[in-house]
Chains A and B, each alone.
Chain A
């Protein structure tokens, strides 16, 4: 943006100043717009920072496939989902026409649709997207019986654990807390890593627990269901016990996904509730990944010296622990859907590119290189995928049992309110908090209350 700098070199004086000022401001204003490049339309595809290389590769592949009719350019958004939403939403409310395709978190579908920021899928596109796509991910792209986005990746949490510390993986949260406390008493790595920071992650934890206990936060029609039955109290009770246990990670109340992964790789955690990226990470050499984790000694404690044994040698996975024994957990479904911006100047081409970006090859690349599970059902029975993705079965099962987060335009408000009230988890008083959650979530659903 050289214009403003150049014009400011001369200092206008007296009367010409006003004119100079205006010229300066105008120059700076138009400099950003630039002139449209000649050639086929450029579709900007905004994606999260995680796996940006994968999305960029898909954009290139689709540009090649389009044969010169359009090109797709991948643009990277911030790493945290909150910041991504903030940036996308601000640009869309400002009417930015340079946003064509956007990777939106599964929880934003209702909000973006209701606000008119994204375009509903035309019937033919919707039919093609629906065909062969897993049901859970499709549900996350649906709002009021219409499809507003196309599932690109899905995501789900499973239990990652150290098989030297826990030969049989815990099947329930009670078992896991007991096991952790026993390990702590023996002075062994004992942490249960889960997302306890005040952000979306703790809402996901709560959503999984309340659904696993047979409850729900908000139903499909927007009615608040937290207060019904004992599910909320059960969920709150587990969260409080995990956080307050003497064997728990003292940083739990600020931990996000990456902190859990780091603690596991550093050898201080025995259990970790996390997404499949942790598997890709521990297998990636440093500095980008964990490089197999730290060395561990005979007992399983982290060791500064080369013991010939690393965390990865004991790294294993199992289904998400249940709340009630015998009732499988209902892990919250995550992932990324592609939507077409309502401000795009090339919506038809964008819908075409949308389908290309989520085709088999691109989803396979995202899975094997970025560690995010695909949304095309056929891939899960594909031997080449299974070979690259050893945890596929646990993940597929988890997806089949998945629970969806509340699909209301006010979801973000609900999540902010929940994450504020649930954090720090060690301070939760289940009996007192449950009724407060009902009040606050009810205000948030109607977008009447404040968000903290």
Chain B
């Protein structure tokens, strides 16, 4: 349910390696044809599942989003064009959920980046207990989000929690918009910073030590070395890490479902979609929300690629052929 388990990001797509050194030749030998057949055969199951479980349903979702289709009024089904989209986009609930989602996304990704970078530097450089640190930080990464969310929820519940006990008497932090949002963000950051740190650590490994030593000799301070050398050299890794985490944060659901159930205006767009589908059983409106979320995610990905020059996922690695 989270990007932590998303594919290892690739800086560029070179790792999806094309057969190296093969020049495209029009001549198709017998072996070549066998290779094509085998390739198709091996890729077919993956392709079939992908088409069957994502491509077809998303097209179906687009179709559903054009219908008035409420399971509670089965007799009352009709094609309504874009009316569902108009309803969603003119609804305060959509925009407040959208705002909440953006807020969670931006704040948590920003914090994760800073913490993740610090953690990556620590893991890269530390002289003490490196293996232990690398092991324990995998626990937040691997732990079930629902479990972690319950830990935070109980921790912040008045009378029950060790963290709530630190607050002034009578405060119930999960019941107020600002503090509940802060707790949701803390839960998100705790869970996903290790993933960010590991990606950045991989990028850090690409920075040559010689260069840093040379800079140090030239009198560059630690901060200068970080901003002038390390970060620029890590840029591809950073952008991929940010892209993946941003898209993942945008679909935040589990933490909110457990922590606040979306009360006090803390619902995300995913919560809104879920509620309209399964509380109101309104498949038309729910599908319109689903499609809008899909578009948002696509838009974010395009923004990253166009504005920041993150390598476009799936784009051809340069110089492949």
Contact = CB atoms under 8 A, between A and B. Distances in A.
Q: Answer yes or no: do A and B interact.
A: yes
Contact of A251 (B72, B158, B275, B285): B158
Contacts of A420: 93, 263
B281 interface: yes
A343 to B, nearest CB: 14
A452 interface: yes
B91 interface: yes
B158 A250 contact: yes
A21 B52 CA distance: 14
A82 B275 CA distance: 11
Interface stretch (A160-168, A280-288, A299-307, A405-413): A405-413
A64 interface: no
A450 B172 contact: no
Interface in A11-48: 15, 17-18, 21
Contacts of B93: 420, 450-452
A115 B45 contact: no
Contact of A451 (B74, B172, B276): B276
B158 A447 contact: no
Closest 6 CB pairs of A and B: A198-B263, A250-B170, A450-B91, A452-B93, A451-B280, A450-B93
Contacts of B275: 416, 451-452
Interface residues of A, number: 33
B175 A412 contact: no
B224 interface: no
Contacts of A416: 275, 279-280
Contacts of B263: 197-198, 253-254, 420, 423
A80 to B, nearest CB: 10
A410 B281 CA distance: 10
Interface string A417-436: 00010011000000000000
A183 interface: no
A316 B91 CA distance: 46
Contacts of B289: 450
Interface stretch (A85-93, A131-139, A227-235, A330-338): A85-93
Nearest to B289: A450
A116 B175 CA distance: 38
A183 to B, nearest CB: 16
A412 B45 CA distance: 42
B88 interface: yes
A111 interface: yes
B278 interface: yes
B72 A115 contact: yes
14 contacts: A17-B45, A90-B278, A114-B72, A115-B73, A116-B74, A250-B172, A251-B172, A409-B72, A409-B73, A413-B280, A420-B263, A451-B93, A451-B279, A451-B282
A416 to B, nearest CB: 6
A124 B41 CA distance: 64
A15 B44 CA distance: 11
A447 B283 CA distance: 11
Contacts of B71: 89, 93, 115
B279 A412 contact: yes
Contacts of A15: 41
Given A409-B73, A448-B87, A449-B91, A253 B278 contact: no
A449 B285 CA distance: 8
A89 B74 CA distance: 13
B203 interface: no
A90 B87 CA distance: 25
B236 interface: no
B112 to A, nearest CB: 28
A251 B172 CA distance: 6
Contact of A424 (B97, B158, B175): B175
Given A451-B93, A451-B276, A452-B96, 16 more contacts: A17-B45, A89-B71, A198-B264, A251-B158, A251-B172, A253-B175, A410-B72, A412-B280, A413-B279, A416-B279, A420-B93, A424-B175, A450-B88, A450-B91, A451-B279, A452-B267
Interface in B231-289: 261-264, 267, 272, 275-276, 278-282, 285, 289
Contacts of B262: 198, 452
Interface string A229-261: 000000000000000000000110110000000
Contacts of B94: 450
B70 interface: yes
B172 A254 contact: yes
A210 B122 CA distance: 61
Interface in B175-222: 175-176
B264 A253 contact: yes
B174 interface: yes
B171 interface: yes
A189 to B, nearest CB: 14
Contacts of B261: 198
A409 B174 CA distance: 32
Contacts of A17: 45
Contacts of A197: 263
A254 B45 contact: no
A115 B74 contact: yes
Interface in B134-179: 158, 170-172, 174-176
Interface in B278-321: 278-282, 285, 289
Contacts of A447: 70, 72-73, 280, 282
Contacts of B41: 15
A273 B170 CA distance: 21
Nearest to B94: A450
B165 to A, nearest CB: 14
A311 to B, nearest CB: 17
